Amino acid sequence: MKKILLLGLSLFLVSALAFAQGRKVTGTVTSGEDGMPIPGATVLVKGTTVGTATDLDGQFSLTVPADGKVLVFSFIGTATQEINVGQKSVIDVTLQPDVQSLSEVVITGAAGIESRRVEMGYNATSIETRDVAQGRAANVAAGLTGKVAGMQINTTGSGVNPNVRVVLRGARSLTGNNEALIVVDNVIVPNSILGSLNPQDIQEITVLNGANAAALYGSAASNGALIVITKRGKAGQTRVTIGHTVNAEKVSFYPEIQDQYGSGTVGGYPQEYVPYENQQYGPRFDGQPRPVGRPLEDGSIQTLPYSNTNSKNDFWNTGITNQTDLSISGGDEVSTNFLSAQFLDNDGTTPGDHFTRASLRFNSTRKFTEKFTASLSANYVQNRYDITTATRGMFDHVLQTPAQIPLTNYKDWRNDPFANPNGYYNEYYPNPYFTLDNERENSGNDYIVGNIELKYKPVQWIDVTYRVGISNRYSFYKRTVGQFTYTDYTKGISSSKTDQAGSIRDRNAFNNQINSDLLINFKKAVGTDWFFNLLLGNSVRQNRSKSVINGANGIVIPDLYNVSNRVGEAFAEEDNFTTSQVGVFAQFKTAYKDYLFLELTGRNDWVSTLSKENRSFFYPAANVSFLISDAVAGLKNSKTINQLKLRGGVSQVGQVNLGDDTNFGAYSLQSTFSPSKGFPFGSLSGYSLDERLVAANLEPEITSSFEFGTDFVLFDNRINGSFTYYQSETKNQTIPTGVSAATGFTEYLQNTGIVSNKGFETNLNLTVYSHNNFQVNLGGNYTYNDNSVVSIASDLDRLQISTGGNAQVYAVEGATFPQLIGSSYKRDDQGRIIVDAKSGYPSAAEGQIQLGNTIPKHRLGLNAEFLYKGFRLYALAEYRGGYSIFYEGGGSFDFSGSGITTTYFNRERFTIPNSSYEDPENPGTYIANTNITVTDGGSNFWSDGSFRRNVAENYIVSGDYWKLREVALSYDLPASFMNKIGFIQGATFTAQGRNLLIFTPKSNIYTDPDFNFDDGNAVGIVTLAATPPTRFFGGSISLTF
Amino acid sequence: MKNILKIFTIVFLASLTSCESFLGNNENPNQATFATPQLVLPNALTSSAVLLQNYNNNAQWITGYTVNAGGFGGWGAIVTYNFTTTTYNTLWENTFDDLINYQYIEQASMEDPSQAYFLAVAKVMKAFDYHMLVDVFGDVPYTEALKGAENVTPKYDDQVAIYTDLVAQLNEAITIFTTAEGANSLGAADVIFGGDINEWAKFANTLKLRLLIRMSSGEASSAFAASEFASMNTSLGFIEDDAKLNPGYIATDGKQNPTWERYHSNAAGSQSAFGRSAVVSEYTFSFYNGNKILDNGRGSASYRAFPADTPLGQLGDLADNDFALANYTAWYVGSGTGSEATNTIGLLKGRTADFPMMLASESYLLQAEAYMKGYLNGDDAAAFENGVKASFRYLYEDISGATSEDWDQDVDYPLYLDDNPNNPLVIYSLATTNVQKLEAIVTQKYIALNMINGQEVWSEFRRTTFPKIANGSINPERTFASILSTSSRADKLPVRYLYASTEFQLNPENVPTGKNQFTDTIFWQSN
């Protein structure tokens, strides 16, 4: 968008400049953004009016007067470059994009409406393709991490294609959707598509941070929006680009584990070596040879040195991603075409995991008449997974491996008798390599996403747009567990090894969304001062999904994974969902003298998921923008303040938060009955009340928000920045609150609860230096978000969001959301842990306490960019702070004795720090404990459930970190060099890395806090289901023909 | 301009008028939003069997039926009794989850005389579930419970008041069973008695007997028990056959007999972890191997490799307990392993076996105590003998309910008497005092309900202190208390569970706080 505008503006400058006598200098001016020549760039001898402009090939020829020492190169939208002429006769210049966004820059906003930045009464950030794609993240959203104020992006795991969660301005909805709306080429698409977009296809991403900006999108706009515009062809020469990227992925953060003690079970003291034990409470390593496991049937037994092998950490592979890109773009006056293809192949860090993604895109536009244009955008993506389903189990099995075991020697479980489950040394946990191979998923998704847009402009002041979009996802998986039968010998000596019967789950599903949008836009200028714009729109959406799953537990013929090959009855289930939504909206914009802008919008939605009485709801928004720098005479043409804008807005958006993107909230209004406990049995059917109660008359959630802020450009365009304060309140939350089981139910879906969010988003970008083709840009963005659960329900001050272990994610009235709540130690009034005066052991408190909020309050992104001729070095660091996480695997480490914590006191008796015991003379008062040591400081302490493993506070760590998120170094071969080759127009080489370094507080001995066990709102728990965090690094090459 | 506005208006109006039909009715094509008592009852009863089994699974660690097998760790509260508020969350939730189905049946059939039997069965089964809940938690929500959205924070009721009302509900059910006219048959929905209302009446009466005997031991409830005994309908009688449930168990995952599934193997033949991680306590075993009682018949019907090689242990002994037998759980006496395991007699009769909800043996032994104590008129010695014989019969029956020459209680019961000629626990006439008689009755109940109803046996132990244990002994045959017990009691046992943590989160105003699993006894426990 930006490019087209720039070309138009600059060509007329060519003839305006005078010529003079002197030395002749020639050269080429190219764009740092894409390496292409810039036509119409101005070349001026500093301090004179002598100059010229580049021709269509970006070339210039200028006679420099004898006293001319410096040439000034400038072009709209780029930073000005000054070059010392010296003795040079050829000067090639690369003009880099300006750090500031131009006041004339047009941003595609809600409903595909293009607005100039100056008009916008709300915060919006545009990110160019280079910034998204430079780190070569396979996922578009991952490439945005840390780059936009107000936007938090979390990758929920480290698998081959992990989910990415995008949240703007904090969590508003307690249990509903908080993720930003995703819009591709002006059509709303399901969030899951984000992971399937080819980052190379993206022209621009606009982030609409708040509901104000997105209100026109209707429901879900309360979460802000990510507006993705894909590339279009350009009029002119056909360009073909081919690129290839190789990235390596390596584990960057292992949980800290002990390397001093080997196999031994929980028991007395001193510890005894047990050759087949997974627990690591044995004696200290002494390097002596010891037997490992039980003897095989032929009597052979392994003997291995009793010392640390570090093999657990060597378990993970170096993942390799190969990505090949091809794009063809071209066009003429009336039509443009863009065709792209990408193939990505990824081997993960988990041995055997494999992922491929192939995508094709065809974007086309055609101007049939002056009044009528049509465009098409079509995208097909296919991805395929071959992964293990047992990540959590496998990771646990790895960590249950004593440090003396050479784990990586046991890969070949089919042939190596000591790796085979029959002969595997570990009595209780299987060989992780066997687990990996035996529990598999083959799955895939086929996406077809596309839209057709027709634009009709009968007269100058009216245009009509009609768009129909489809996003279709077909998905399938086959999950299998292999059959394994142990030998009688093994079963005879190992009572805990039992046969695996094998199982199959086979699922097919489709998920389909059709959108239809009609927009009529009226524009009218009245006099010279006033401008009016009225937009009327209608939008219709239908979502359908269906899934069928069948399966069998227990297969007959090994390795035949078909549901017909089974024991007993088959398992089968189906789900069908259809929902519809109709919206009408209007937007009225007026501008006064091009410096004062007002925008009013209103939208009414009708949704199928609510009762007939409640399914229609209306919500308005208003925004104002005031360009002070244009309104105040003294500021016009100021070199110091190039632009200063104040803006503000209020809005209300309704969101129906009943379901997810599979069920869309359909059929949630009635309590249901389901067959349970094995029903039906033959001809006997049976139904049981389901656990959820539903309140009568559910209504939409309403988010009311306001924001105000400023955008500014200072010091001759060298500094730009923005500041936005926002506040929002979401009420009428549709929440399945937990209720006392004594009601007969466990959930109660009702409208209740208010959550408020407030915070600010800032960013500042500066061009520190720009001279002689050398430019340094620095940027930073800082976000502060604080939210508070104002209320949940009259008789409820806590709402459980996740279920399971000893600490869970909650919403707590009056506290930041989400909040970890879990078990803690009994403490005295001074906060000391109360221990038993005899045993020295602590005990768990009866209730559960708040253990910390789980979303960072502070986020800071810092980036630096160094540009020299064709070189570009970019680095991005990110800080997140002010939150905690719960590491669920910690309990498993303590149980097995692999955890570093178990060695903190050398497994000797110790006094619990900061503890006290009850004064036997004065019950209720406590004496500081300085001498009562725990009865056993070894296995019996660390593996104990009641006062160690089940006490959640033991596994809470600070989530704070600094991360070197992205570094990319690229080099564009100079145009002059390319000209010599001829058929190649451009070549770019890049070396890139992501997540290169992470710095966490010492207390975080477990993991990268970004990871999360769930891609929903229950943020803050890391489990072993997430493999260890990784860093990526690699290189790429891109050639343009 | 005009035309365009017109077009827009038309499109706008068209979309609005067609809007209603476009939006549709939001009718659920996936799940039922309506049911009937006929559809809910079979599921509810089958869930009650699973619920009873949940109670048993927890209780039989405490009563010595099961102990930790060698080679397994991580026992936690099972061996220390160091319960937390999260230990029994599932039990708490599952009980109310089952109860709400009976509540639904009660509501749906209350006004409809043709559904009277459904109403009565719902009342009986509510009493069946609720008394187990009270027996482990004491005060629980009752009058305000099961009201759905009407009351999301139900108050807790006094345990004696709950028991009292449960008896009243059973009386109402008995009245319906014996007097209702024009009521539809329960038909196939009755997966316990196949629609036999007379059996239901007896079942209700036996359950009432169980409750009243318990109440007769409580200070605050004994007077009520006495008056109820006085007005008891004795002509109705008590169950004489085992009350067994079977919805049509088959060899498919999730559809097997739940006891088989838990202790033997899943439908595909994979051996259950519970069957391997638990062995038999030496305490319980001594009632079979001759150390306390010699019982070759029931011993070999109950235990694999009896008597020499049955795996034994003591709760909490993490070092010396026997490992489970290779390929076999200790409670399966048939041949074949995994999916090849054959149907047999004893405790694990087969994958599709009936699930015992209440044994005739227990019915007789309850009667024996009522007769012995004079609550009801009858022959306690005869009831005692019938109780023991009924236990033999249950264990000797195969999966079809038939007995064979190999397993003949008429042969083995006299042998049992002969083998223990001087033992008052076996020969009732040798028990002279009421205390000895009670010990014999309750000890035989302990034997009869071995691995069948640990919940009931734990309650009976707490009420009577029988079967006898030696407080604080470390001799594995003399007590079933864990050697890792943290209990402050002399008997080293717990007396209750702790309220679910979900109640502290979701119903904090009402849940009683500060309960201790070693000191806060249930009302019918004297110490």
Domain check: are B115 and B221 in the same one?
yes
Most confident listed range (A228-232, A412-416, A802-806): A412-416
Question: Backbone dihedral region of A31: left (phi > 0), alpha (psi from -120 to 50 degrees) or beta?
Answer: beta
Helices (H), B234-379: 258-263, 273-277, 282-285, 296-302, 360-372
> What pLDDT is attached to residue A465?
93
Check: CB of residue B367 under 8 Å from CB of residue B385: no
pLDDT band at A470 (very low <50, low <70, confident <90, very high): very high
Decide if pLDDT at A104 tops 80: no
Which of B306, B325, B340 lies at the terminal end of a domain, its last residue? B340
B406 falls within a domain: no
Decide if pLDDT at A15 tops 50: no
Q: Rounded to a whole number, what is the distance in Å from the CA of A1020 to chain B's nearest CA?
A: 19
If you average pLDDT over every residue of chain A, what do you get? 87
The Cα A619–Cα A606 span in angstroms is 12
Most confident listed range (A101-105, A398-402, A744-748, B299-303): B299-303
Give the number of C-alpha atoms closer than 13 A to the C-alpha of residue A1011, restricted to the C-beta side: 23
> What pLDDT is attached to residue A493?
83
Interface contact A679-B43, CB threshold 8 A: yes
Domain check: are B55 and B104 in the same one?
yes
Q: Which chain B positions have a beta carbon within 8 Å of A584's beta carbon?
A: 12, 15-16
Which of B298, B314, B340 lies at the terminal end of a domain, its last residue? B340
Q: Rounded to a whole number, what is the distance in Å from the CA of A673 to chain B's nearest CA?
A: 5
What pLDDT digit, counting tens, does each position of B91-112 carry? 999 999 999 999 999 999 999 9
What pLDDT digit, counting tens, does each position of B52-68 carry? 999 999 999 999 999 99
Interface contact B267-A946, CB threshold 8 A: no
Q: Rounded to a whole number, what is the distance in Å from the CA of B385 to chain A's nearest CA?
A: 37
Interface contact A498-B270, CB threshold 8 A: yes
pLDDT band at A847 (very low <50, low <70, confident <90, very high): confident
Read off the pLDDT of each residue in A565-593 and give the average, rounded to a whole number.
92
The Cα A58–Cα B330 span in angstroms is 88
B227 falls within a domain: yes
Interface test with B, best of A484, A576, A692, A743 (most B CBs within 10 A): A743
Which of A99-103, A158-162, A240-244, A343-347 comes out lowest in average pLDDT? Answer: A99-103
Which of B340, B372, B387 lies at the terminal end of a domain, its last residue? B340
Q: Which chain B positions have a beta carbon within 8 Å of A686's beta carbon?
A: 39-44, 46, 247
Three-state SS at A371: coil
> What pLDDT is attached to residue A8?
38
What pLDDT digit, counting tens, does each position of A258-281 carry? 999 999 887 655 678 989 988 999
Percent of chain A with pLDDT over 90: 46
Burial (Cβ within 10 Å: 0-12, 13-18, ≥19) of residue A675? middle
Decide if pLDDT at A994 tops 60: yes
More confident residue, B51 or A9: B51
The Cα A365–Cα A380 span in angstroms is 18
Q: Rounded to a whole number, what is the distance in Å from the CA of B500 to chain A's nearest CA?
A: 9
Decide if pLDDT at B410 tops 60: yes
Domain check: are B121 and B230 in the same one?
yes
Interface contact A540-B29, CB threshold 8 A: no
Decide if pLDDT at A571 tops 50: yes
B448 falls within a domain: no
Residue type, A444: G
Interface contact A681-B255, CB threshold 8 A: yes
Q: Which residues contact A63 (CB under 8 A, 6 or more apart)?
A: A19, A20, A21, A22, A23, A24, A25
CATH of the domain at B172: 1.25.40.390
Check: CB of residue A123 under 8 Å from CB of residue A707: yes
Decide if pLDDT at B378 tops 80: yes
Domain check: are B291 and B156 in the same one?
no
Decide if pLDDT at A796 tops 70: yes
Domain check: are B268 and B299 in the same one?
yes
Q: Rounded to a whole number, what is the distance in Å from the CA of B320 to chain A's nearest CA?
A: 11
How many CB pairs below 8 Å do chains A and B form together?
Answer: 305
> What pLDDT is attached to residue A38?
83
Out of A494, A503, A580, whose CB is closest to B24?
Answer: A580
- Dihedral Cα A879, A882, A888, A893, nearest 10 deg: 70
Domain check: are B191 and B298 in the same one?
no
Domain check: are B39 and B127 in the same one?
yes
Read off the pLDDT of each residue in B341-369 and give the average, rounded to a whole number.
97
> What pLDDT is attached to residue A6?
41
pLDDT band at A18 (very low <50, low <70, confident <90, very high): very low
What pLDDT digit, counting tens, does each position of A291-306 carry? 999 999 999 999 999 9
Decide if pLDDT at A974 tops 80: no
B451 falls within a domain: no
B176 falls within a domain: yes
What is the ipTM metric for this complex? Answer: 0.90
Interface contact B74-A895, CB threshold 8 A: yes
B147 falls within a domain: yes
Interface contact A676-B43, CB threshold 8 A: yes
Q: Which chain A positions have a beta carbon within 8 Å of B271's beta carbon?
A: 498-499
Residue type, B413: Y
Helix (H) or strand (E) holding B59: helix B37-62
B310 falls within a domain: yes
Interface test with A, best of B43, B78, B107, B327 (most A CBs within 10 A): B43
Q: B59-85 burial, b if ≥16 CB within 10 A, otherwise e?
A: bbbbbbbbbbbbbbbbbbbbbbbbbbb
Check: CB of residue A478 under 8 Å from CB of residue A442: yes
Nearest to B91 by CA among B508, B496, B515: B496
> What pLDDT is attached to residue B16?
56
Q: Rounded to a whole number, what is the distance in Å from the CA of A894 to chain B's nearest CA?
A: 11
Decide if pLDDT at B244 tops 90: yes
Interface contact A684-B42, CB threshold 8 A: yes
pLDDT band at A67 (very low <50, low <70, confident <90, very high): confident
> What's the Cα-to-Cα distance from A902 to each of A273, A287, A792, A840, B170, rounded to whole Å?
17, 21, 40, 17, 56
Shortest CA distance from B323: residue in chain A? A495
Percent of chain A with pLDDT over 70: 95
Out of A464, A567, A687, whose CB is closest to B35?
Answer: A687
> What pLDDT is attached to residue B234?
80
R_g of chain B computed on alpha carbons: 26
Shortest CA distance from B12: residue in chain A? A538
pLDDT band at A537 (very low <50, low <70, confident <90, very high): very high
Q: Rounded to a whole number, what is the distance in Å from the CA of B333 to chain A's nearest CA?
A: 17
What pLDDT digit, counting tens, does each position of A160-169 carry? 888 888 888 8
More confident residue, A1030 or B446: B446
Residue type, A337: N
Out of B72, B148, B277, whose CB is closest to A743?
Answer: B148
Out of A520, A667, A682, whose CB is closest to B30?
Answer: A667
pLDDT band at B441 (very low <50, low <70, confident <90, very high): very high
Q: Rounded to a whole number, what is the distance in Å from the CA of A570 to chain B's nearest CA?
A: 8
Domain check: are B275 and B206 in the same one?
no
The Cα A87–Cα A90 span in angstroms is 9
Out of A492, A678, A745, whose CB is closest to B254?
Answer: A678
Domain check: are B12 and B44 in the same one?
yes
Decide if pLDDT at A439 tops 60: yes
Q: Which chain A positions have a beta carbon within 8 Å of B152's beta carbon?
A: 737, 739-740, 743, 748, 795-796
pLDDT band at A991 (very low <50, low <70, confident <90, very high): very high
> What pLDDT is attached to residue A9?
39
Check: CB of residue A832 under 8 Å from CB of residue A916: yes
Domain check: are B266 and B213 in the same one?
no
Domain containing B302 equals: 258-340
> What pLDDT is attached to residue A16?
40
Number of domains in chain B: 2
Shortest CA distance from B96: residue in chain A? A744
Nearest to A932 by CA among A826, A838, A843: A838
> What pLDDT is attached to residue A160?
81
pLDDT band at B2 (very low <50, low <70, confident <90, very high): low
Strand-strand pairing, B355-358 and A114-116: unpaired
If you average pLDDT over every residue of chain B, what do you get? 93
Interface contact B32-A689, CB threshold 8 A: no
Domain check: are B264 and B229 in the same one?
no
Domain check: are B52 and B113 in the same one?
yes
Token pair of A515 as six digits: 């959108």
B155 falls within a domain: yes
Token pair of A216 as six digits: 């026109």
> What pLDDT is attached to residue B420?
97
Q: DSSP strand E in A156-230: where? A: 164-168, 181-184, 187-189, 202-208, 225-230
Token pair of B45 as six digits: 């009863």
Read off the pLDDT of each residue in A17-43 and give the average, rounded to a whole number.
74
> How does DSSP assign A910-934, residue by residue?
-PPTTEEEE-SSSTT-EEE-SS---
Q: Which chain B positions have a beta carbon within 8 Å of A458's beta carbon?
A: 4
Three-state SS at A620: strand
Decide if pLDDT at A1009 tops 80: yes
Q: Which chain A positions have a beta carbon within 8 Å of B253's beta carbon?
A: 553-554, 568, 571
Check: CB of residue A558 under 8 Å from CB of residue A530: no
Read off the pLDDT of each residue in B334-355 and give the average, rounded to a whole number.
93
